[in-house]
A and B are shown apart, each in its own frame.
Chain A
Amino acid sequence: MDTSYFQPSGFGRFHLDAGTANVAAPTELNAVATPSEGAAAASAPWSPSNPLFWFGALAALTLGLAAVSTSVRVGPARASVSLGK
Chain B
Amino acid sequence: MTTTTAPAAPQRTMQGLAIAAESVNPKAFFALTRRKTLQEKTFTYNGQSQDVVELRKSDILAGIDIEFVGNLVTAKGAGTVGTTGRWPYDLIKAVKVSANGQSNLINVSGAKLKVRDLMKNSDLSDRGITQTVNGVNVSAGTLAGSSESWGVGSQTANIADGNYNVDLQWHVPISEDETDLVGAIFLATSTSDITVTLEYSSQADLFSLGAPATATLTGTFKVSTTKFSVPVGPNGQIVVPDLSTFHSLIQSRYTALQTGENEIRLVGQGANKSLLRMYYQLWNGATPAPVPMTRTAFGPQSWRFGNNETPEVYNDGSYLRKHMERSYNSDIGAVFGFGCHDFAEENVFRDVVDMGTTSELRLVTTLQNGFVLTNPALEYVTEVVFLAGTAA
Contact = CB atoms under 8 A, between A and B. Distances in A.
B272 A14 contact: no
A7 B347 contact: yes
A24 to B, nearest CB: 5
A13 B351 CA distance: 10
Nearest to A26: B389
B387 A33 contact: no
Nearest to B358: A33
B389 A22 contact: yes
Contacts of B272: 16, 20, 26, 31
A11 B389 contact: no
Interface string A1-25: 0000011111111111110111111
B182 A26 contact: no
Nearest to B353: A15
A12 B245 contact: no
Nearest to B11: A22
Contacts of A15: 274, 349, 352, 354
A14 B242 contact: no
Interface in B338-360: 347-350, 352, 354, 356-357, 359
A65 to B, nearest CB: 52
Contact of A21 (B13, B182, B270, B349): B13
A7 B352 CA distance: 12
Contact of A16 (B13, B180, B270, B387): B387
B354 to A, nearest CB: 5
B267 to A, nearest CB: 16
A81 B99 CA distance: 82
Contacts of B13: 21-22
Contact of B182 (A7, A14, A25, A27): A14
B390 interface: yes
B357 A21 contact: no
Contact of B271 (A6, A7, A13, A26): A26
A6 B352 CA distance: 12
B14 A31 contact: no
Nearest to B24: A18
Nearest to B12: A22
Contact of A10 (B242, B347, B350, B357): B242
Contacts of B387: 11, 16-18, 20-21, 26
Interface in B237-277: 242, 244-245, 270-272, 274, 276
Name the 5 nearest CB pairs between A and B, nearest first: A31-B356, A31-B271, A28-B271, A21-B244, A13-B349
Interface of A: 6-18, 20-28, 30-33
Given A11-B242, A15-B349, 10 more contacts: A10-B180, A14-B182, A15-B274, A15-B354, A16-B386, A17-B387, A22-B12, A26-B271, A28-B270, A31-B354
